Amino acid sequence: MKKFLHLLSGNIRKEYIEMKRYWPNTLSMILTIFFIFLTMFLGIQFVGDPNQADTNIQYVIVNYIFWYLTLVTLQGPGFTITIEATRGTLEQLYMSPMGVWKIFLARLLGTVFLHVLIMIVLLFLSMFVTNQWLHLNPLSVIPVFIFTIIGMIGVSFIIAGLAIIVKQIQAFLQILQFILMALTFIPLSVAPLLAYAPFVKGIDMIRQIMIYNMTLGDFHLTDYSILIGSAVVYFVIGMMTYLRCERIAMEKGVLGQY
């Protein structure tokens, strides 16, 4: 555990240094995401029903914030493998005694930590611009958020397993952006079966907390069963898929090929 915490600390520093060193790219990414939100906000103002405008804006704020975080989380390991393969350093990671999956996990957690800070800034900026203030209850949001992230990490390792075999998955990740937008924006009241999709139940529960001021006691046992069960299932499936793909890449001798 101590070694993993040291690995996690090192990867947080690495991600921070890269974001700081290449700050034009970081700033452009943040401004692009915020511009997308402004476009949605203006669309609601001019096209949507005025009687439902406040609630719709609050929905958009929560949805786009989590869409941004979901994009970063799910694409992280896939991009990392592609970049490492391009640089010719992917095989060097396998020389680490920590195990590559732990390195990717630590790097992903570091990325999530830093982008959560950016997400908080975007959240307050969005609320300030729209003058729509959500209910921020950390005691209710954080537990649900943790299990939501666990499910996201599981799916990200499925994508990482695909990347470690085929290397080039940029086109797939571009398509994934629209799939993730649908999963984060469509409410469960419209498509109840989406509750069993990864991380969707968690986002819906956080949406209820932040918009309608619900607490953990307001949810049913079924809600927690789906939240925790899907997080565990998708995390286990993700790790098993990644390790299996890693073994296939080793057996075929394509681990370091690009």
Ranges 15-19, 89-93, 111-115, 144-148: which has the least confidence: 89-93
* pLDDT band at residue 221 under the 50/70/90 scheme: very high
pLDDT at 27 over 80: yes
Q: Which domain holds residue 162?
A: 2-252
For residues 163-177, average pLDDT: 76
pLDDT of residue 76: 77
Stated pTM of the model = 0.87
What is the C-alpha separation between 199 and 150, in angstroms, rounded? 8
How many domains are there within the chain? Answer: 1
Rg value, the chain, Cα: 19
The pLDDT tens digits of the residues spanning 68-113 come to 888 888 877 777 777 777 777 777 777 777 777 888 888 888 888 8
Give domain status of residue 85, yes or no.
yes
Give domain status of residue 153, yes or no.
yes
Using N-to-C axis directions, what is the helix angle for 221-252 and 100-130, rounded to 10°? 130
Ranges 165-169, 206-210, 216-220, 233-237: which has the least confidence: 165-169
Give domain status of residue 257, yes or no.
no
Give domain status of residue 258, yes or no.
no
Give domain status of residue 228, yes or no.
yes
pLDDT at 184 over 90: no
